[in-house]
Amino acid sequence: MLLERLKAETAPLHDRVEAASALMSPELTIGRYIDILAAFQAFHAAWEPRIATLLADEALFDPRRKLALVNRDLAHFGVAPGRRFHSADWLVGRAEAMGSLYVLEGSTLGGRVIARHLQRRFGLVAGAGAAYFSSYGAAIGPMWTAFRARLEAFSDPAHDDAIVAGAQATFTRLIEELDRHAPPAAAGEVA
């Protein structure tokens, strides 16, 4: 089944994204959190237009856009959205786009845990600094279920390799963006 394959073949990259962001770290600071939001903003600014074009399915994608949410979080901290310097032309077809969307939709599940951590640690909530990680609110479960059904319906031996490749490429690009927004390594520290 495609969902098990996606989970297995992206697990190491998923772990690297978690390590690169360290959002659940007890040492997370507001400054680092803002850097992470900036990384997600840069990613989504390039990614969303590309995914919208490749999917050509407004009913599926429009409710899943998150650029406005991350921009709202940055605005909460008085940070203007950055300029987009990167592109998402690494996604070349609908199957890769579906794999890419799998990554971002799956992240909403973990976002619930992150949102609770941000509330406990900094008092941030969906309307004040944690909109991105709160994403769909109470609709996270139904949104994930609906997306999984669409992905499973799209799954086909002719598409599945490209779906997995799109998911892996998305994780890789997220890692690159998080690395670009990481604080410089301290003297003597290995990055």
Where do the structural domains in the chain lie, given as residue ranges?
A: 28-180
Say yes or no to pLDDT of 123 above 90: yes
Q: C-alpha distances in angstroms, 168 versus 1, 49, 74, 91, 99?
A: 17, 19, 27, 11, 8
Whether residue 182 is predicted with pLDDT greater than 90 in this model: the reply is: no
- Three-state DSSP class for 31? helix
Q: Which residues pair with 125 in a beta bridge?
A: 128, 129
- How far apart (Å, rounded) are the C-alpha atoms in residues 136 and 154? 23
Residue 191 confidence class, pLDDT cut points 50, 70, 90 = very low
Look up residue 11 and give its two tokens: 């697990």
Burial of 52 (0-12, 13-18, 19+ CB in 10 A): middle
Predicted TM-score (pTM) of this structure: 0.92
Taking residues 55-67, report their average pLDDT. 97
Cα dihedral across residues 136, 139, 144, 146: positive or negative: negative
> Which tokens go with 144?
């994930």
What's the pLDDT at 185?
62
How many angstroms separate the Cα of 142 from the Cα of each of 118, 122, 135, 139, 176?
23, 28, 13, 5, 30
pLDDT by residue (tens digit) across 154-178?
999 999 999 999 999 999 999 999 9
CATH 1.20.910.10 applies to domain 28-180? yes
Find the distance separating the first CA and the last CA of the chain, reported in whole Å.
37
Q: What percent of the chain has pLDDT over 90?
A: 86
Rounded to an integer, the average pLDDT of 30-53 is 95
The tokens for 90 are: 């690494």
Q: In this predicted structure, what is the pLDDT of residue 184?
A: 75
φ, ψ at 51 (rounded to 5°): -65, -45
- DSSP SS3 for 129: strand
Q: Calculate the average pLDDT of the chain.
A: 93
What's the pLDDT at 85?
Answer: 61
Average pLDDT over residues 28-48: 95
- Percent of the chain with pLDDT strictly greater than 70: 94
